[in-house]
Amino acid sequence: MNATLMQPLAEKTRPEVPGSTRLLRGYLHKTSNSLCGIKGYAGLIAAQDPTELKSGRWARKILAEIERLEDLLRNVGDLTMRRHNFTGGRDLAGVLGQAVAQVREQHPGLTAVVRSLPDAELLLPESDLALVLKEVLQNSAQARERVLVEITGQVEITGRVTLRLEDNGPGMEPELLKMAAEPFVTTREGHHGVGLTRLDTLCEMHGLAWSLASHPGTGTTVTLEVARALESIDHPART
């Protein structure tokens, strides 16, 4: 990943539910059912056995691991949900504001400043945009206890609107930057390392471009293609 905005995918027809997605959804369902059974037995043991007994300690460790796995399954499950045709919304500011507020509930040290935000029609559902924005904001907030994220919306020459989210965090080493969007890559204990993987997958699903730029000590910048400028919609170019 580099500072140059990645090219969006060429327009193509995608099946509503590809075979690989159906298969993954089936495995997620079976795994969730198995975890529920194990969680139930471990919960009974943990409730009955005192903390000092080995069985009680093991049961509590199992419960903690199951909670981590359930969180991971929810993250992956978001990507297998059906995406129906949608009418592009125009509440970019509202979606951004909600995403910031939700992340700040868990990370009060986050400060987000919106420099500019053009009127635009979204190119993806508001729920998917919210997921993408929260992934970026959470990454910034988790990298430093008190972090500033400056957000700038810009109309590109193509008529599409990009959001630039630039933080003043510690930045990433070049080796980590190359693998940042790969699944399960993380330097933080207790994290799954699937945040940017979800972002990359959602952008790919909607044919949108994004980029990641970072240097140690200078922060990280994520640029996302999210909408079309209303001016380009209301006044299409004449041929």
Torsion sign (Cα): 135, 139, 145, 149: negative
Look-up: residue for tokens 């690989």? Answer: 20
Report the b/e string of 139-171 with b at 16+ CB within 10 A. Answer: bbbbbbeebbbbbbbebeeebbbbbbbbbbbeb
Quick check: 67 pLDDT over 90?
Answer: no
Mean pLDDT computed over 43-59: 73
pLDDT at 1: 44
Separation in Å, CA 189 to CA 56, 193, 216: 24, 10, 20
pLDDT at 149: 95
Q: Between residues 231 and 164, which one has the greater pLDDT?
A: 164
CATH C-level class of 92-234: alpha beta
Contacting residues for 141 by C-beta, under 8 A, at least 6 apart: 103, 106, 107, 109, 110, 147
pLDDT band for position 208 (50/70/90)?
confident
Q: How far apart are the first and last CA of the chain?
A: 36
Question: Percent of the chain having pLDDT more than 90?
Answer: 31
pLDDT band for position 93 (50/70/90)?
very high
Q: Which region among 24-28, 41-45, 210-214 has the lowest average model confidence (pLDDT)? A: 24-28
Separation in Å, CA 38 to CA 13, 65, 94: 41, 11, 41
Nearest-angstrom CA–CA distance, 159 and 177: 29
Nearest-angstrom CA–CA distance, 6 and 53: 55
H helix intervals, the chain = 19-48, 54-78, 92-106, 126-143, 174-179, 195-205, 230-234
pLDDT band for position 201 (50/70/90)?
confident
pLDDT at 17: 42
Give the pair of three-digit tokens for residue 136. 């970026």
pTM (2 decimals)? 0.65
Q: Which region among 37-51, 144-158, 188-202 has the lowest average model confidence (pLDDT)? A: 188-202
pLDDT at 185: 58
Q: Single out the residue of 212, 95, 213, 209 nearest to residue 160, CA to CA.
A: 209
Give the pair of three-digit tokens for residue 44. 């009974």
The domain limits of the chain are 19-78, 92-234
pLDDT at 57: 75
Quick check: 124 pLDDT over 70?
Answer: yes
pLDDT at 223: 94
